[in-house]
Amino acid sequence: MFSWFTSKSVKRTPELLQDPYAVYDLKFLEWEQREVLSQQQKVCICVEKSRKKENKTFELILKKDRILVFVLFRDVSKERVEALFHSVKKILNIVSEGIATKKPLVIAPLLREIVDSIRSNPHWTSAHIAAKTGLDNLFINSPNDITCNLNAQKEPDFSTPLHLVIQSGRVSTTKALLALKPRLDLKDKKLNTALHFAAMSEKDILVLILKEPNIFETLKWRNKKHCTALHLSCFANKSDNVLEFLRFGMTVQMMTVSSPEKKQKTLFDDKKIIRFTQEDIDDLDTEDMIYGGTPLHWVKHRRTLDKLLKMGFGLDVVNVMGETALYTMVKRLRLKCMIALLYNGAGVQVSNRSGDCPLHCAVKAADVTSTQALIVFDANIDAINKKKESARRMAAKVEQADHQMVLYLLTAIGAKRCDSQMKGCSPGCAHNGTYEGKPYHRWPLYHNETLYKEGLLEPVIREALKRQNQPKDDKSRRVRMICLDGMHSRRYILITFYINIFYLTVSGIRGLITIQIIEKINSIKFKHKLKKYFFEN
């Protein structure tokens, strides 16, 4: 009962009084000095009794109860005050019942928001204003003016109260409104549903919407920009919401967040609903979700990648940056995931919006191992991006040691230099240049290895082709080996296979070249067997 004496009032600073729409409370004695000119329930037009006629200021006042009285607007023109009075009185009388607090410092800004919302959106109903300003009590008590306008769509944007409350991010108000069972299939002018707005709002609000019945079909709906709800979660960088969608369960097609204008096809039947476990969620990186793509773009570990590949996600689906999952793995230096994608047939020549292929990305990062792997899987070493840059040119223009090793690698496998018309070339890529990079100091050179030189000069290849055509004797089969290594001992891989060619042991760059020789000699079937053995063991 003593709150009137103890609660703090709104301070009427000069800055506040300069704004005619600033809201502040009146003390009891100040209210007694007002003369009421017009009134409808709690809203009235007043003027100070003590003021002279030429100095009178007309005020729009809300008398919430005997104690709480607020000035909403003031002007020397009675006509302007009356115009605002007629536009706000009906809604203000309804929504003011939803204000439960007795603190003027809380009520004043809330009334200002209500009046501003009515002024900006004269077509809105009381349900719209209550949703916009977060008046939970109105939805809990459910007066008739609220329930009858629960699904109302008003110009100019045709938003419903549910759309507005979700956009405001108020969880408690959303819960109170959903208890009244509003329609979730209504679309605004841009074809956004409640789920679209929830995808860009707080995670708790999205969880509430996903619990509603018959919401699954809404996951497929696209707005005017051809975006599903999952698209909007990605593009709004709401990674928690993206993960919530994956937990809820979607089809492969729904989880494919490519460019909105393009509908990417999936490998498997799109009727199966896939739900991510917590282990799957833990293996996803949220950093790249903003660009869309598929979960293949976001995965961090091989164990989950293998699961996703079995689900049927498209290997060459691109995100909004034009990057495939393979490109992302090269960019993030996830070698195991990159190898798995290559083995399963990911395209090595799919370029992004800048025209860069995965090989360009690997060379930019001076990642020797990724560069070697991409070359083994038939990456075009002379591919050119939109800046007319090849992988060799990228490696040559950076003087760091790692880039010079990549340059040496590209040179060893025959990467072309820039043509004579290209300008700004460095010695490593210039048409008439001689610099070819620097090898890693642990890479053996094998200057005296005649067998290797013969392999490059083709006679060994011709001899092997002759032997292939001769009848095979199972008793004469012998074990042959190829040993390939990168920069570190952990990269060593031993391949044992049966073939009637010759015994070779090479390392580093030469191992890659030997792979190319074997591919020339043997059939495509053998090539795939070799790669399978290489990357599964």
Per the structure, the complete domain to which residue 472 belongs is given by 450-536
Indicate the residue among 84, 100, 120 that finishes a domain.
120
With cut-offs at 50, 70 and 90, classify the pLDDT of residue 518. Answer: low
Residue type at position 306: D
Q: pTM for the complete prediction?
A: 0.78
Give the number of other CB atoms < 10 A from CB of residue 293: 27
Torsional sign, CA 323, 324, 327, 329: positive
In a domain, 342, yes or no: no
Query: Looking at the 3D structure of the chain, how many domains does it have?
Result: 2
In a domain, 60, yes or no: yes
With cut-offs at 50, 70 and 90, classify the pLDDT of residue 8. Answer: confident
291 phi, psi to nearest 5 deg: -95, 0
Give the number of other CB atoms < 10 A from CB of residue 351: 21
In a domain, 162, yes or no: no
Indicate the residue among 93, 120, 147 that finishes a domain.
120
Answer whether 74's CB lies under 8 Å from 58's CB.
yes
Tell me the β-bridge partners of 207. Answer: none
With cut-offs at 50, 70 and 90, classify the pLDDT of residue 490. Answer: very low
Q: Distance between CA atoms of 80 and 78, rounded to whole angstroms?
A: 6
Q: Are strands 58-63 and 69-75 parallel, antiparallel or unpaired?
A: antiparallel
In a domain, 487, yes or no: yes
Q: Distance between CA atoms of 13 and 176, rounded to whole angstroms?
A: 37
Indicate the residue among 120, 135, 152 that finishes a domain.
120
In a domain, 178, yes or no: no
In a domain, 180, yes or no: no
Give which of 399, 400, 351 is closest to 379, Cα–Cα: 351
Give the residue with greater pLDDT, 320 vs 50. 320
Q: Quick: pLDDT tens for 403-417.
A: 999 999 899 888 999
- Cis peptide upstream of residue 156 (ω within 30 degrees of 0): yes
Give mean pLDDT, residues 375-388: 92
- Poorest-pLDDT segment among 65-74, 319-328, 438-447: 438-447
Q: Quick: pLDDT tens for 31-44.
A: 999 999 999 999 99
In a domain, 260, yes or no: no
Tell me the β-bridge partners of 36. Answer: 46
DSSP conformation class of 143: -
Percentage of the chain exceeding pLDDT 90: 61
In a domain, 240, yes or no: no
